[in-house]
Structure 1
Amino acid sequence: MKREQALLQGHREKASKHRRIRVKRRNVVILALSMFVANVAFGMAFPYLSVYMQYLGATMFMVGLLSVAFNLTSTVFQYPFGWLSDATRNRKGFIAFGAASIGLFYAVMPFTTSPLQVLVLRTLQGAFGSAMTPAHSALISELSTKAGSIFGLFNSIENAGYMVGNFVGSVVVEYLGIKSLFVISGLLLFLSAGIVILVRERPAGRRGLIGMILVQEGRESWRATVRGSSFVKLMRGHLGLFYLTVFLVMVASGQFYSVSSVYFKRAFGEWSVGVLFGIESLAAALSGYFLGRLIDRYGAKRFYLVAIAGYAFAFVLYAIVRNVWLAFGVAFLSGIKWILTINSTSAYVAQNVGASERAQGMGLLNAMMSLGWVVGPLIGGYLSGISFQVNFISTTIPLGIAFLLALRLPE
């Protein structure tokens, strides 16, 4: 009798394990499809935001504020949304809310009549859209124990979607106009939000958001809720040092990419802008999964250091290269360093932050990236007024500091 019960229990456990594997695989497919569609929308709309601003009569200063405003509000709201995602044990809900919010503001953009209105909508996109990123990264990390591989897979898929969006966007603008582009992008993001709702999450331990927000009796209840935040804990020790290095790397990134389109247009011709960005996305899509597997095998820190060095190498090469064909090669290298940065930093957080705080950890990672993109464009805009070359080469300063600090991180 005991033997039969043991066998029955073994079969039940085996069946339960197979069910969990099937659910995880299904979730991977659903999330991948949702994020591919979302990135097609991003790839369509984002490159034409500055063009639309100028179409409405914006100055270059106003165009530059698009990046600063979006990333500033994104920085502020990334961590709170990550905390809410952890507290409610809800990933897909926040991903859907963020995607739908960005889609809504894109769909409204064709009805704007001034650059200031576009700037306001972009600011709101940064605030509400930031609900998406920490929950998205946390959910990916929960789909596999091999953090590097799973992030590599999704980064390849998402970069492929962005690249498709680049090409589709140019066709839409040519035949339907720039206003139609934003409407279509908005609809695609609504579709992405609808798809991700199909993800199956484990309900165990989930707390409702309404129950969290309702006024609780006594101050001690509120204090207990606030203590659920792990901000101070995550910013201490080696993780705090890690987040500082990410901020410095993104300062350099913001210095370069906030003015790169103008530089490419002047140096190689207007036609080269889309091609160079397309090559970067292509390189990221092709190498993402392979690099993710290498990160699992050899460690995230090692590849993060390579990525930082790759930033410095790529930006210096962009400063000195004058031949467009050589620039294509630099763009391919630049795409690899970007996907390597995303894979290694995401894997590092996934490997060093517990599951109950994962979205907060990812939220801080995204917040540091966004904050770097608040500071970087301000520096880049000023230095590029002196010389593009001075700006590009000066990125080696924050990158060099980040590299030296990253050497102190534990494996």
Structure 2
Amino acid sequence: MSRRNAPDESTETDPLDAFRQFFALERDVLVLSLAMFAFSLGFQMTSRFLPEYMVALGASGFAVGLFGTVGNVISAVYPYPGGAISDRIGSRYALTAFGLVSTLGFAVWLVAPSVGPIAVAGVTVEPWVWIFVGLLLAQAWKSFGLGATFAVVKQATDPARLAAGFASTETFRRTAFLIGPVLAAVLIGLHPSFTVSFRYVLAVAVLFGIVGTLAQHLLYDASGDSVGGGSFEGVAQIRADLRDMPAPLRPLLIGDTLVRFANGMVYVFFVLVVTQVFGAGFETTLAVGEFSYAVDLSPQAFFGYLLGVEMLVALLTMAPAAKLAERVGLKPVVAVGFFVYGAFPVVLIYGPELLSPVLSVQWALVLVFAFSGLRFAGLPSHKALIVGPAERGAGGRVTGTYYLLRNLVVIPSAAIGGALWEFVTPEAAFALAAVVGVVGTGYFLVYGEEFEAYA
């Protein structure tokens, strides 16, 4: 079906479908949506502020880079064993176990400052080391079911509407991405000391984890679970999946890996650019008639609102971009997202200074993070381009293989960025990241292939 032909009404995918299903209280949608929303809120409230938390607890910039690399390792290696555990014990108990582990991770972050430096075998363990321990636990639920989500959308959506189908699920999920950092910013503003106020955030994240875990365990209908079957077959299965990866995915994978490597070099340092390089808080007075209210945000709280601006732009642009893809194809829309990913490091590190003749640092950062939100506009089309060429029924395996390869290569990116940040300059780290990202975008533009249903 040509993208210029109107799709059958029965295949239309409204980006607001996820919200309508949620409020219709369909059992499975309600349970999984509650869990997704709760854990997304908890993780988004906390993860973007953890580098600042680590520095406040005494970590160096290089340690922050290593933290990002550990996160990359987890993203690469967790999904396969997670899927095997789910196949073995069933979705209900797997979801409950992953939820409990993630909640425990939030709790470890919460108590880290209270542990204090301790001596273990003659080595002093600083409080920030416990942030690594918490990360190993907190990402458990987040990494569950990635391939299955892609496969379900592929099976339920007309091929020419895949981008719109992913726009629907992403719109729902990323609403939590919008609310989480803004809620964190409000809580951070309750106390002048960041190490105190951020623990308020972590306490709320623990609460969300408990709610999500209880909801999915008590309400999830496990009657359809198949227990004890289809476990992971080992390295031979990975090799077979690599051989069977559709050829059109390879240019996309190479370009995407370069772009994500670039982003990984500097992602954990975004908060430090705002709070330390620019030291940018936000001060203004809101006046309505005779009523006025002074707004005075710390740099850490301001960063939370900047993330809110970023995600608001993402939510506003994902659905229109998915519709645009039906007219111009997936590749141009994905390329725009890649370009924003690649260019953002230099836009962030140099943009506020370049805009200083016309904008204050605070408003320049608002504009910069609004620009960053455009990278998510291409995300539904990107997902459609990944799973589209897969044979029906193989979407989960293809997706898992794609992300395994990409995430394995990206593992050292944050450590490299951390070394440049600590031992050269932050500007060097961000400039090199931008070069790598733009090269990845260019490679995809030259060699990337369009999905036939959109051609």
Compared with structure 1, are the counterparts of its residues 23 and 330 closer, same or farther at alpha carbon in structure 2 (3 Å cutoff)? closer
Compared with structure 1, are the counterparts of its residues 364 and 382 closer, same or farther at alpha carbon in structure 2 (3 Å cutoff)? same
C-alpha distance in 2 between matches for 1:311 and 1:228: 29
Partner of 1:12: none
Q: Deviations over 1:163-191 (max 9, x none)?
A: 21112223334268433432331331343
SS of the aligned residue for 1:410 comes to coil
Compared with structure 1, are the counterparts of its residues 94 and 283 closer, same or farther at alpha carbon in structure 2 (3 Å cutoff)? farther
- Residue pair 1:78, 1:364 contacting (<8 A) in 2 also: no
Partner of 1:389: 427
Q: Extract unaligned runs of 5+ from structure 2.
A: 1-19, 116-126, 282-298, 451-455
Match of 2:263 among 235, 253, 269: 253
- Tell me whether 190-199 or 273-282 shows the greater mean CA deviation: 190-199
SS of the aligned residue for 1:360 comes to helix
Partner of 2:286: none
- Residue pair 1:244, 1:368 contacting (<8 A) in 2 also: no
- Residue pair 2:62, 2:418 contacting (<8 A) in 1 also: no
Partner of 1:107: 107
Q: How many residue pairs were aligned?
A: 377
Q: Deviations over 1:299-342 (max 9, x none)?
A: 322211121222334333334321332332221121111x1343
For the pair 1:269 / 2:286, whether they are aligned, the reply is: no
- Residue pair 1:317, 1:330 contacting (<8 A) in 2 also: yes
For the pair 1:122 / 2:135, whether they are aligned, the reply is: yes
Q: Deviations over 1:34-88 (max 9, x none)?
A: 4333222122222332344345443333333222112212212334545777x78
- Residue pair 1:284, 1:336 contacting (<8 A) in 2 also: yes
For the pair 1:279 / 2:272, whether they are aligned, the reply is: no
Partner of 2:413: 376
Partner of 2:45: 44
Match of 1:353 among 379, 390, 394: 390
- Residue pair 2:185, 2:305 contacting (<8 A) in 1 also: no
Amino acid at match of 2:75: S
C-alpha distance in 2 between matches for 1:240 and 1:88: 32
- Residue pair 2:342, 2:436 contacting (<8 A) in 1 also: no
Compared with structure 1, are the counterparts of its residues 30 and 234 closer, same or farther at alpha carbon in structure 2 (3 Å cutoff)? farther
- Tell me whether 90-99 or 144-153 shows the greater mean CA deviation: 90-99
Report deviation, 1:364: 3.5
Q: Could you say which structure has the higher strand fraction?
A: 2
- Residue pair 1:234, 1:240 contacting (<8 A) in 2 also: no
RMSD of aligned alpha carbons: 3.7
Report deviation, 1:349: 1.9
Q: Deviations over 1:336-379 (max 9, x none)?
A: 11x13432221112212234332233333444554465332223
Partner of 1:410: 449
SS of the aligned residue for 2:447 comes to coil
Partner of 1:144: 157
Map residues 4-403 of structure 1 onto 2, 5 A cutoff.
26=26, 31-81=32-82, 97-112=97-112, 113=115, 114-126=127-139, 129-145=142-158, 146-173=161-188, 174=190, 177-195=197-215, 203=224, 207-208=226-227, 210-212=228-230, 227=237, 230-235=240-245, 237-265=247-275, 266-267=277-278, 269-270=280-281, 271=299, 272-321=302-351, 322=353, 323=356, 324=361, 325-337=363-375, 339-368=376-405, 370-371=407-408, 373-384=410-421, 385-403=423-441
C-alpha distance in 2 between matches for 1:362 and 1:284: 23
Q: Sequence identity of aligned pairs in percent?
A: 20
- Residue pair 1:23, 1:200 contacting (<8 A) in 2 also: no
TM (norm. structure 2) is: 0.70
Compared with structure 1, are the counterparts of its residues 125 and 275 closer, same or farther at alpha carbon in structure 2 (3 Å cutoff)? closer
C-alpha distance in 2 between matches for 1:82 and 1:317: 38
- Residue pair 2:187, 2:201 contacting (<8 A) in 1 also: yes
Q: Could you say which structure has the higher helix fraction?
A: 1
- Residue pair 2:248, 2:389 contacting (<8 A) in 1 also: no
Amino acid at match of 2:135: R
Amino acid at match of 2:173: E
TM (norm. structure 1) is: 0.77
SS of the aligned residue for 1:352 comes to coil
Report deviation, 1:229: 7.7
SS of the aligned residue for 2:394 comes to helix
C-alpha distance in 2 between matches for 1:152 and 1:374: 28
Q: Extract unaligned runs of 5+ from structure 1.
A: 1-21, 215-221
Report deviation, 1:201: 9.1
Compared with structure 1, are the counterparts of its residues 55 and 255 closer, same or farther at alpha carbon in structure 2 (3 Å cutoff)? closer
- Residue pair 2:88, 2:229 contacting (<8 A) in 1 also: no
Compared with structure 1, are the counterparts of its residues 287 and 131 closer, same or farther at alpha carbon in structure 2 (3 Å cutoff)? same
